[in-house]
Homo-oligomer: A and B are copies of this chain.
Amino acid sequence: MRTTDQQAAALGTRERIVRTTARLLQRQGYEGTGIKQIAREAGATLGSVYHFFPGGKQELAVAAIQHGDQEFAELLREGLAAEDDPAEAIAGCTRLLAAALRESGWAEGCPVTATALETLGTSADIQRACGAAFGHWSELVAEKLRTAGLAEEDARALAITVINTLEGAETTAQVLRSEEPLLLAGRHLAMLVHAHRQGAP
């Protein structure tokens, strides 16, 4: 097919817009990010943005959130696979997050939190996408915990807290411009996992 080039170019522009939006939402939130800014920084024009996302800013935000969802999931997968022991693996994830956060100049934290909080009363679509992201991430952790022998329900519950703690620690790390909250989270979550493996829930 000769259409490949055209489609590749099309995907190229669309993908550039989504990635740029994801990064800007992560850094400035939903209301703080303008569509014109997105077009400018993505090297696209307003026409292209509305061509690919006729639903406007909300549709674009949903796509960006889903992109961030997958990106963060990939980081989690890598971190969790790096160690057999789930406690060590989770602590490893906090180190990955801390390093990435510092390298971005403390600007690029959780890809969905800021947008989620701002748009809670505004857009049900965005809220759904954010909720789905949390679900995907905690499912990855839960699977790791199950593999290590935790009971189904314990694994599910603990995984939710793991994701929540990572999220909160990442936010605090950004505000304080320090890796400490994330590294402490890693240490404490490891203890919590150990407590589950040894004894009562």
Known contacts A31-B32, A164-B181, A134 near B172 by CB under 8 Å: yes
Q: Which residues of A contact B (CB under 8 A)?
A: 27-32, 106-107, 109, 113-114, 116-118, 120-122, 127, 130-131, 134, 157-158, 160-161, 163-169, 171-172, 174-176, 180-181, 184-185, 187-188, 191-192, 195
Q: Do B164 and A116 have beta carbons less than 8 Å apart?
A: no
What residues of chain B lie closer than 8 Å to A188, measured between beta carbons?
157-158, 161, 192
* Majority secondary structure of chain A interface residues (helix, strand, loop or mixed): helix
Q: Do A161 and B171 have beta carbons less than 8 Å apart?
A: no
What residues of chain B lie closer than 8 Å to A180, measured between beta carbons?
160
Q: Do A175 and B131 have beta carbons less than 8 Å apart?
A: yes
Shortest A90–chain B CB gap in Å is 13
Known contacts A31-B32, A109-B117, A161-B185, then 7 further A-B pairs from the complex at CB < 8 Å, ordered by chain A residue: A29-B117, A130-B175, A157-B187, A160-B181, A160-B184, A161-B169, A168-B168
